[in-house]
């Protein structure tokens, strides 16, 4: 018997059950009575939400990410911990690596410690095959699961997403309207976020009635020197490109280094756009135009949403935040 | 009554007590009997070490660092988790921020979860005032505390250090023998590691009978653009320098950007050396000569030492690892 069973049996929403547990006055007396009756009948003992409300809680959130050495994830962890601390919650972080087995092991470890909620950071935490995520959907019956820039459907699962697709589409449109004709798109991953970014690139071309040439979409490791190597090879093979749009700043740094090595003038001869507006984007000369994926806003929104869940508020299961294009010297429109 | 009291009362080392608990055969029968007698007399129940040995243990190590978004610390966390997992241990990471109050709170949180040991990552985790570290010395009576590139004396505290002082001295010597006369030294922190690096700079000058000019030692935030600004200001104020030696790669990137902005030719007119051999060092053109502080070796050694402690081996309380100078295009000797 869990809170879902109570809500189903009482014919009210989970938020309403939570409000009753919370003593929130925004519940009619009739509804409150019905919920309490169901609880008495079924012997339901509030656990998760009660813990979230500070009743017997350890006031600790489990944060999981695949790789803490990735700059994007490292910053997300930093912001999440800060926001949770401001809300009076401790956090425990587990870096799981990319194997599903390890992810599940760490998840079970944190569950056994009775954390009040999970925050899973990054698109890569969600597996491509639905059945590989069923342990999360199942666990969410007992404990809220928050995803930072990852997407998974399920009750008690809440996603805060950056609108990567629109961001990449708009960046590509700016390149096209600035006179670039042959935009190379470099991506690192087929994750939810990675796939959306790629769709944005396709959207921009298709909206203008241009054809998408598959050899202008290239998979690339998230590595500066590998990116430089890839672009050098494509150049030597005779592929013509006047812009490089990337899914990660590390790739954009590699593009700048390729341009230096091959005597291509930035931005007159080659425009470059990065993603994440990370420290990488200001390491090079010229500095790199980059899409700010708003990691701080994603993290503060995630924590605000979680506190809403604990307080029995109606919170959206999916919140999307718009990205910003930060214009620097690798594009003509800066 | 803890393991130290037992060792004192039995007149044997802690490692010997641990060997007895471990059933390790390298203990004489006489010693074994004496230790067991003391345990029986005093009612001592093995806890920490027994847990470390898998008896009732949660097989989980608490990792603490001040800021997970720092690239050096982020990589250390990555390597530590990997090594611990290979040894069959889980890890819980807490990012504490820099305030002592938060560090202590997180430390207490992890202690209450009965972790088998602590690994504190980074020189900044240790406070400058001895009394601010006494909670660690005290806690080490019950649970091993490992420091990664931090230094604190105390029983059951084990430090794995990079020989920062020698590394900086040798780098400065190479610059001097390569014809640089006015080496600017930029540093970010007065931590144990930060202080040692600075000593290395002074050593190099003093060994050659050169005077140390204090205006050539400058404190600087760990920030690319702030470093560029500082060097630009020093240049405009008329300070002459033909080399910039730094305590962190981010500062070296700032130095490259200053050189680009002020038309100084690297390395003919200005040599630059970074520290940590991080991803930063290959983002710029030219790429940056940098001291490899061996973060991976520090982490694997820390975990090996910890497993030695758990197994009752005699392990050194302090291990020092030599750094390497990775020569790239910002120095003439590359």
* pLDDT tops 70 at residue A104: yes
* pLDDT tops 80 at residue A25: no
Q: Do A68 and B91 touch (CB under 8 A)?
A: no
- Give the nearest chain A residue to B112 (CA atoms): A58
* pLDDT tops 60 at residue A46: no
Q: Do A90 and B109 touch (CB under 8 A)?
A: yes
A225-255 tens-digit pLDDT: 999 999 999 999 999 999 999 999 999 999 9
Q: Do A69 and B81 touch (CB under 8 A)?
A: no
Give the residue-averaged pLDDT of B159-178.
97
Considering only the beta carbons, identify the residue of A78, A256, A257 that sits closest to B67: A78
Residue A95: the pLDDT is: 82
A60-162+295-323: CATH topology: Rossmann fold (3.40.50)
Provide, as residue numbers in chain B, all residues whose Cβ is less than 8 Å from the Cβ of A224.
279, 282-283
Provide, as residue numbers in chain B, all residues whose Cβ is less than 8 Å from the Cβ of A94.
90-93
Coil/strand/helix, residue B86: helix
Q: Do B283 and A283 touch (CB under 8 A)?
A: yes
Half-sphere exposure of B105 (CA within 13 A, CB side): 16
Q: Specify which of A20-24, A109-113, B116-120 reaches the highest per-range mean pLDDT.
A: B116-120
* pLDDT tops 90 at residue A160: yes
Q: Do B250 and A279 touch (CB under 8 A)?
A: yes
Mean pLDDT of chain A: 90
* pLDDT tops 70 at residue B95: yes
Residue B214: the pLDDT is: 96
Residue A43: the pLDDT is: 63
Candidates A62, A118, A283, partner chain B, best to mutate (most B CBs within 10 A): A283
Residue B308: the pLDDT is: 95
- Tell whether B4 lies on the interface with A, counting CB pairs under 8 A: no
- Tell whether B284 lies on the interface with A, counting CB pairs under 8 A: yes
A90-102 tens-digit pLDDT: 888 888 888 899 8
* pLDDT tops 70 at residue A52: no
Among A26-35, A158-167, A295-304, name the one with the lowest average pLDDT.
A26-35
* pLDDT tops 60 at residue A221: yes
Higher pLDDT, B231 or B95: B231
Residue B23: the pLDDT is: 62
Q: Do A68 and B60 touch (CB under 8 A)?
A: no
Residue B1: the pLDDT is: 59
Instruction: Chain B: give the shortest CA distance to residue A73, in Å.
Output: 8
Instruction: Chain B: give the shortest CA distance to residue A7, in Å.
Output: 34
Assembly ipTM: 0.79
Provide, as residue numbers in chain B, all residues whose Cβ is less than 8 Å from the Cβ of A81.
68, 95, 97
Instruction: Chain B: give the shortest CA distance to residue A160, in Å.
Output: 21
Q: Where are the beta strands (DSSP E) in A66-204?
A: 90-95, 117-121, 145-148, 157-162, 183-187
Among A170-179, B5-14, B236-245, B282-291, name the one with the lowest average pLDDT.
B5-14
Q: Which residues 20-49 of B are in CB contact (within 8 Å) with A?
A: none
Residue B46: the pLDDT is: 52
* Integer Cα distance of B80 and A56 in angstroms: 33
Residue B96: the pLDDT is: 84
Higher pLDDT, B49 or B63: B63
* pLDDT tops 70 at residue B70: yes
Provide, as residue numbers in chain B, all residues whose Cβ is less than 8 Å from the Cβ of A252.
none
Q: For the purposes of burial, counting CB atoms within 10 Å of the CB of B215, is it exposed (0-12), middle (13-18) or buried (19 or more)?
A: exposed
* Integer Cα distance of B9 and B120 in angstroms: 31
Q: Do B113 and A113 touch (CB under 8 A)?
A: yes
Residue A294: the pLDDT is: 97
Assign A209 a pLDDT band (cuts: 50, 70, 90): very high
What CATH code is assigned to A164-293?
3.40.50.2300
* pLDDT tops 90 at residue A146: yes
* pLDDT tops 80 at residue B43: no
Evaluated on CA atoms B190, B194, B196, B198, the torsion sign reads negative
Candidates B95, B248, B280, B330, partner chain A, best to mutate (most A CBs within 10 A): B95
- Tell whether B112 lies on the interface with A, counting CB pairs under 8 A: no
CB pairs under 8 A between A and B: 95
Half-sphere exposure of A75 (CA within 13 A, CB side): 13
Can B3-53 and B164-293 be said to share one CATH topology?
no
* Integer Cα distance of B98 and B66 in angstroms: 6
Q: Do A285 and B260 touch (CB under 8 A)?
A: yes
Residue A309: the pLDDT is: 95
Provide, as residue numbers in chain A, all residues whose Cβ is less than 8 Å from the Cβ of B257.
283, 285
Give the residue-averaged pLDDT of B246-262.
98
Residue B250: the pLDDT is: 97
List the beta bridge partners of residue A321. A162
Considering only the beta carbons, identify the residue of A67, A113, A280 that sits closest to B78: A67
Q: Which residues 223-242 of B are in CB contact (within 8 Å) with A?
A: 224-225
* pLDDT tops 90 at residue A56: no
- Tell whether B155 lies on the interface with A, counting CB pairs under 8 A: no
Instruction: Chain B: give the shortest CA distance to residue A65, in Å.
Output: 11
Residue A54: the pLDDT is: 42
DSSP A263: T
Residue B74: the pLDDT is: 86
Residue A228: the pLDDT is: 98
- Tell whether A284 lies on the interface with B, counting CB pairs under 8 A: yes
DSSP A298-313: HHHHHHHHHHHHHTT-
Give the residue-averaged pLDDT of B36-46.
70
Among A56-60, A260-264, B153-157, B253-257, name the one with the lowest average pLDDT.
A56-60
Higher pLDDT, B11 or B50: B11
Higher pLDDT, B54 or A210: A210
Coil/strand/helix, residue A73: helix
Residue B173: the pLDDT is: 97
- Tell whether B77 lies on the interface with A, counting CB pairs under 8 A: yes
Residue A4 vs residues A53, A120, A155, A325: alpha-carbon distances, Å = 17, 22, 9, 42
B106-117 tens-digit pLDDT: 899 888 878 999
In sequence order, what are the residues at sequence separation of 6 or more whose Cβ sits closer than 8 angstroms to the Cβ of residue B82?
A: A97
With contact defined as beta carbons under 8 Å apart, do B160 and B306 qualify? no
Residue A30: the pLDDT is: 86
Provide, as residue numbers in chain B, all residues whose Cβ is less than 8 Å from the Cβ of A74.
68-71, 74
* pLDDT tops 50 at residue B278: yes
Sketch the domain layout of chain B as residue ranges.
3-53, 60-162+295-323, 164-293
ω before A286 within 30° of 0 (cis)?
yes
- Give the nearest chain B residue to A74 (CA atoms): B69
Give the residue-averaged pLDDT of B42-56.
49
Strand order in the sheet with A183-187: A217-219, A183-187, A243-246, A271-275, A289-292, A324-326
* pLDDT tops 50 at residue B78: yes
- Give the nearest chain A residue to B114 (CA atoms): A113
Instruction: Chain A: give the shortest CA distance to residue B216, in Å.
Output: 24
Give the residue-averaged pLDDT of A288-314.
96
Higher pLDDT, B8 or B49: B8
Assign A51 a pLDDT band (cuts: 50, 70, 90): very low
Q: Do B78 and A60 touch (CB under 8 A)?
A: no
Higher pLDDT, B50 or A126: A126
Residue B55: the pLDDT is: 44
Global confidence as pTM: 0.81
Instruction: Chain A: give the shortest CA distance to residue B115, in Å.
Output: 12
- Tell whether B69 lies on the interface with A, counting CB pairs under 8 A: yes
Assign A201 a pLDDT band (cuts: 50, 70, 90): very high
Please give the share of chain A, as a percent, with pLDDT higher than 70: 93
Helix (H) or strand (E) holding B246: strand B243-246
* pLDDT tops 50 at residue A256: yes
Q: Do A77 and B69 touch (CB under 8 A)?
A: yes
* Integer Cα distance of B280 and B274 in angstroms: 9
* Integer Cα distance of A165 and A177 in angstroms: 18
Residue B327: the pLDDT is: 97
Assign A37 a pLDDT band (cuts: 50, 70, 90): confident
Considering only the beta carbons, identify the residue of B67, B69, B92 that sits closest to A92: B92
* pLDDT tops 50 at residue A53: no
What CATH code is assigned to A3-53?
1.10.260.40
Q: Do B78 and A68 touch (CB under 8 A)?
A: yes
Helix (H) or strand (E) holding B161: strand B157-162
Residue A47: the pLDDT is: 46
Higher pLDDT, B164 or A16: B164
Among A76-80, A237-241, B255-259, name the one with the lowest average pLDDT.
A76-80
* pLDDT tops 80 at residue B226: yes
């Amino acid at each position: 018997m869990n809170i879902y069973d109570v809500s189903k049996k009482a014919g009210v929403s989970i938020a309403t059950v939570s409000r009753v547990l919370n003593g929130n006055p925004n519940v009619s007396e009739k509804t409150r009575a019905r919920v309490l009756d169901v609880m008495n009948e079924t012997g339901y003992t509030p656990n998760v939400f009660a813990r979230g409300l500070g009743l017997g809680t350890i006031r600790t959130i489990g944060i999981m990410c695949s790789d803490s050495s990735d700059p994007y994830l490292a910053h997300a962890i930093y912001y999440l911990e800060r926001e949770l601390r401001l809300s009076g919650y401790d956090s425990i972080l587990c870096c799981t690596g990319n194997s599903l087995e390890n992810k599940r092991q760490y998840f079970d470890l944190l569950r056994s410690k009775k954390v009040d909620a999970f925050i899973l950071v990054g698109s890569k935490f969600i597996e491509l095959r639905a059945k590989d995520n069923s342990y999360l959907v199942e666990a969410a019956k007992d404990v809220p699961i928050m995803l930072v820039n990852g997407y998974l459907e399920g009750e008690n699962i809440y996603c805060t997403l950056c609108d990567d697709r629109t961001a990449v589409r708009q960046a590509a449109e700016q390149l096209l309207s600035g006179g670039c004709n042959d935009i190379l798109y470099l991506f690192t991953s087929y994750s939810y976020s990675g796939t959306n970014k790629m769709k944005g690139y396709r959207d921009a071309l298709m909206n203008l009635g241009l054809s998408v040439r598959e050899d202008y979409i290239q998979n690339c490791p998230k590595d500066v020197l590998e990116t430089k190597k890839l672009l050098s090879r494509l150049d030597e093979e005779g592929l013509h490109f006047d812009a490089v749009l990337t899914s990660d700043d590390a790739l954009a740094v590699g593009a700048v280094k390729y341009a230096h090595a091959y005597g291509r003038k930035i931005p007159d001869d080659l425009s470059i756009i990065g993603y994440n507006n990370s420290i990488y984007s200001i390491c090079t000369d010229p500095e790199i135009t980059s899409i700010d994926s708003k990691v701080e806003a994603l993290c503060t929104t995630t924590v605000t949403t979680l506190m809403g869940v604990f307080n029995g508020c109606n919170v959206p299961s999916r919140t999307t935040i718009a990205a910003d294009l930060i214009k620097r010297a690798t594009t003509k429109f800066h």
